[in-house]
Amino acid sequence: MSSTARLDTAEHIAAQALAEWGLPSSTDDAAGNSWLVIGLPQSADTSPSVGVPHVVLYVFDPFGDQDEVMVSRAPTGPLDHWCAVAVDSKGVQRPLITRPIPQLGDCVEAIADWLTSPQG
């Protein structure tokens, strides 16, 4: 997590919940969007190496601007949802789980289950 993350941002909220499960996360961004990258610890670096299965987590409003994916802002309302995308060792992305903001625990559990399951 970025050392400058505000306590109310999705980044901070999710990173805390993930850390409770022993799952390190790091922030990544591009083209005005931001997300958390979650993987099992590989080394002192918390970011998964290329070719290592990982999950990307972000907040979005499925009924609003679906081009915006963000963890650097606070979840703003009842329409915001967490979205987790699993990325396999070949870089193939698949939806993992999407839940309303109050159900972050469901997302963290699904992420932990996917990361600790054998990837075929």
Global confidence as pTM: 0.84
Bigger pLDDT: 92 or 65?
A: 92
What digits encode the pLDDT tens for the residues 30-87? 888 889 999 876 544 545 556 789 999 999 887 776 667 788 888 877 789 999 999 9
**pLDDT grade, residue 4 (50/70/90)?**
low
Residue type for 20, please? E
**Domain extents for the chain?**
10-116
Provide the 3-class DSSP secondary structure of residue 61.
coil
Residues β-bridged to residue 95: 85
**pLDDT grade, residue 15 (50/70/90)?**
very high
